[in-house]
């Protein structure tokens, strides 16, 4: 019996000497939860969903980023938007490949461009203030910023389609 009591005392002493760490709180708040039957989109799918198609012609497919629409802080008559052109015309792709051949890998080719556009709603004019050209593999081939010269919005063009979207955004914000 004495041995059992000594064993019990020894176990209690040993167990009390073992440190116990509390569980570290997770960085996510318990209020941040969601229920979804669908899996979360991966990075590529999220990028595809970012763009809304707006126009197409023989040059390419045109889209814009809805989250990029915003009013200018200094002049509320001006709307900024980021647009994208996915080139489909083989002649244009060929000429762009020739222009950027030093920057392209062996099997890579020019794929799309992103343009930062600005619209003056009341004057019905627009300007392109920035252009980026990307390869199919996602390599940045050109990044050009410019002071945009405003020009009238031509009818039945991508610029007119974007003007209508910018005008609606201006009216609702």
Tell the residue number behind the tokens 């390419």, with chain if given. 60
CATH homologous superfamily of 50-172 equals Surface-adhesin protein E (2.40.128.710)
Average pLDDT, the chain: 86
Cα torsion at 49, 164, 126, 90 (round to 10°)? 50
Q: Which helix (H) or strand (E) holds 87?
A: strand 78-87
Residue 25 scores a pLDDT above 80: no
pLDDT band of residue 15 (cuts 50, 70, 90) is low
pTM for the predicted model, two decimal places: 0.73
78 close to 118: Cβ distance less than 8 angstroms: yes
Residue 141 scores a pLDDT above 80: yes
Residue 69 scores a pLDDT above 60: yes
Length of the chain: 173
Averaged pLDDT for residues 53-60: 93
- C-alpha–C-alpha distance, residues 170 and 120, integer Å: 10
More confident call, 121 vs 173 = 121
Residue 112 scores a pLDDT above 60: yes
């Amino acid at each position: 019996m004495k041995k059992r009591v000594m064993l019990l005392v020894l176990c209690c002493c040993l167990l009390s000497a073992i440190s116990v760490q509390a569980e570290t709180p997770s960085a996510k708040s318990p209020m941040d939860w969601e229920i979804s039957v669908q899996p979360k989109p991966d990075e590529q799918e999220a990028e595809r969903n970012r763009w809304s198609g707006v126009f197409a012609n023989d040059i390419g497919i045109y889209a814009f980023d809805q989250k990029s629409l915003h009013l200018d802080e200094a002049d509320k008559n001006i709307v900024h938007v980021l647009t994208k052109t996915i080139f489909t015309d083989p002649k244009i792709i060929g000429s762009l490949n020739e222009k950027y051949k030093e920057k392209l890998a062996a099997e890579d080719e020019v794929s799309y461009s992103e343009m930062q556009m600005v619209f003056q709603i009341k004057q019905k004019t627009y300007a392109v203030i920035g252009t980026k050209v990307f390869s199919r593999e996602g390599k940045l081939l050109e990044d050009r910023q410019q002071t945009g010269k405003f020009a009238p919005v031509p009818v039945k063009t991508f610029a007119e389609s974007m003007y209508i979207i910018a005008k609606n955004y201006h009216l609702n914000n």
